[in-house]
Structure 1
Amino acid sequence: MERPQLPLQQLHAFVVLAEELHFGHAAARLGITQPPLSQQMRRLEDTVGHALFTRAPSGVKLTPAGRELLPAARQALTGLADGLAAARAVGDGLAGRLRIGFAASLALTVLPGLLRTFRERFPDVRLDIREMTTAPQIAALHEGSIDVGLLREPPAVEPGLVFRTVLTEPFVAVLPSAHPLAAQRTVRVAQLADSPFVLLPREVGPGLHDRITGLCAESGFTPRLTQHAVEWQTVCALVATGLGVSLAPAGIRRLRLKGVAFRGIGPDAARTRVAVAWRQDDSNPLVARLLGAVGQDPGPGTGRPAC
């Protein structure tokens, strides 16, 4: 047999009457007259199947059934109030869960300051941070498994997604410490033409991969790719062993790996672009909150806000 659903308005009136034990006082507290309050109590008693109050000229008293109902009624009203407050907080973008994908190199530049700023403003939001390269981030955005992406060199156009540039930083040459060019303060990209290259695979970051090979093409050569690594730390570690050289975002210098030399590639060095990405039709208010925090505190590093 299905249990009857008790109207919350009746439960609220019941709790107030149980606290006041006087119809006149309870009605005044509820902002109604006594007849509507009496009608509500009669309907509630009909639902329960038993009297909830004994009535007397001096006031009312709870019956055993009424005393049994009171804690449950209070719990139901408290649960509703808590649920409404939680729903408002989520709807206002003050609570809830936000899933963020980020390129590993951004942990050295923009990510720490962004997360610090966001957590200070919205301490009740649960952050789910996932390290991902560019291509997996775009796929995860389309699938809905992340809400926001922080990535490098996004595609010019991606249906259903929006990209906003938030940071640019120059490229640097990554050299083994024993490499002849490591003795120079700066190097030209063309000087790397005879060295083997270590790079991220194109399938995990096509934009950044093409940007680096494009810089080489502008300098008159096609890089000879001998090693691939998914993470920049691994790229640098392979460079340190003498397996090749690389071009990387300047923030990678913060890794400070032994056996690796980072050198600028000139005062007019090309810059790599960092963007925040989100679904165009996403109505999650937390996405807008994060977008508002992006660029407020980019944190330490060599990057600069995009113009």
Structure 2
Amino acid sequence: MLSTERFMALVPAAHPLAGHAELSASELSTTDLLTWPHQINSGLCDRLLSAFHIGGADLRIIRTADSVHAIAAHVAAGTGIGITVESALDHQPPGLRIIPLTGPSTTADQVVLTPTEPSDTATALRDLLLHASAEASFADH
């Protein structure tokens, strides 16, 4: 199964960028950013770095946190703008806007391999991911 993972910015509602429907790496290049540590998901961190590099922008990470809730708390406190992936967002953090990043390398294909005869739990997870991927694809068009 293949689905697409998008980078999302967590922006305080009062921030000048909060009115944007999408944000590019260049729009965030002078902004203090918060994200997860490289040790948590090195592949996605490398893809984020690549997205900024390809976009000709500087990636200014000033703080890392090990959960999207911690990132959101720092953003709400005015520390900077958070960067996470869409799948980590289980709710709309109060006082923040969630804005997708656009441009090269701002999405990543995710692959889930299952055995020929998956368990009921694996089947439910696969169906949930397929449904979420289909909804995201429909919303993009």
Give the TM bin, normalised by the shorter chain. Answer: 0.7 to 0.9
1:174 corresponds to 2:2? no
How far 1:290 moved relative to its partner?
Answer: 2.6
Q: Deviations over 1:136-163 (max 9, x none)?
A: xxxxxxxxxxxxxxxxxxxxxxxxxxxx
**In angstroms, what is the RMSD of aligned CA positions?**
2.9
Instruction: List alignment gaps of at least 5 residues for structure 1.
Output: 1-164, 279-286
Determine which of 89, 99, 110 is the counterpart of 1:263: 99
Distance in 2 (CA, whole Å) between partners of 1:297 and 1:251 is 12
The structure, 1 or 2, with the larger RCO (C-alpha pairs under 8 Å, 6+ apart) is 2
Q: Which residue of 1 aligns with 2:86?
A: 250
Distance in 2 (CA, whole Å) between partners of 1:167 and 1:213 is 21
Instruction: List alignment gaps of at least 5 residues for structure 2.
Output: none
Equivalences for 1:149-160 in 2 at 5 Å? Answer: none
* TM-score of the superposed pair, with normalisation by structure 2: 0.75
Q: Deviations over 1:21-79 (max 9, x none)?
A: xxxxxxxxxxxxxxxxxxxxxxxxxxxxxxxxxxxxxxxxxxxxxxxxxxxxxxxxxxx
Distance in 1 (CA, whole Å) between partners of 2:28 and 2:78 is 14
Determine which of 202, 215, 225 is the counterpart of 2:61: 225
Provide the aligned length of Structure 1 versus Structure 2: 132
Distance in 2 (CA, whole Å) between partners of 1:190 and 1:233 is 25
How far 1:185 moved relative to its partner?
Answer: 2.1
Q: Deviations over 1:167-188 (max 9, x none)?
A: 2132222212221100222222
Cα 1:269–1:174 shift into 2, 3 Å: farther
CA contact (8 A) 1:249 1:272 kept: no
Cα 1:272–1:236 shift into 2, 3 Å: farther
CA contact (8 A) 1:196 1:244 kept: yes
- Identical-pair percentage: 20
Q: Which residue of 1 aligns with 2:43?
A: 207
Distance in 1 (CA, whole Å) between partners of 2:28 and 2:105 is 15
Q: Which residue of 2 aligns with 1:138?
A: none
1:187 corresponds to 2:23? yes
Cα 1:172–1:269 shift into 2, 3 Å: farther
Determine which of 273, 280, 303 is the counterpart of 2:109: 273
Distance in 2 (CA, whole Å) between partners of 1:228 and 1:264 is 19
Distance in 1 (CA, whole Å) between partners of 2:69 and 2:17 is 21
Distance in 2 (CA, whole Å) between partners of 1:268 and 1:206 is 18
CA contact (8 A) 1:253 1:262 kept: no
Cα 1:247–1:296 shift into 2, 3 Å: same
Equivalences for 1:13-162 in 2 at 5 Å? Answer: none
Runs of 4+ in 1 over 6 A off after TM superposition: none
CA contact (8 A) 1:171 1:265 kept: yes
Cα 1:203–1:267 shift into 2, 3 Å: closer
Amino acid at match of 2:127: Q
Which has a greater percent of helix? 1
CA contact (8 A) 1:170 1:269 kept: no
Cα 1:191–1:224 shift into 2, 3 Å: same
- Partner secondary structure for residue 8 of structure 2: strand
Amino acid at match of 2:63: Q
1:290 corresponds to 2:126? no
Distance in 2 (CA, whole Å) between partners of 1:267 and 1:196 is 19
Distance in 2 (CA, whole Å) between partners of 1:263 and 1:223 is 17
When Rg is computed on C-alpha atoms for both structures, the one with the higher figure is 1
Cα 1:204–1:266 shift into 2, 3 Å: closer
* TM-score of the superposed pair, with normalisation by structure 1: 0.38
Amino acid at match of 1:207: G
CA contact (8 A) 2:68 2:89 kept: no
Q: Which residue of 2 aligns with 1:64?
A: none
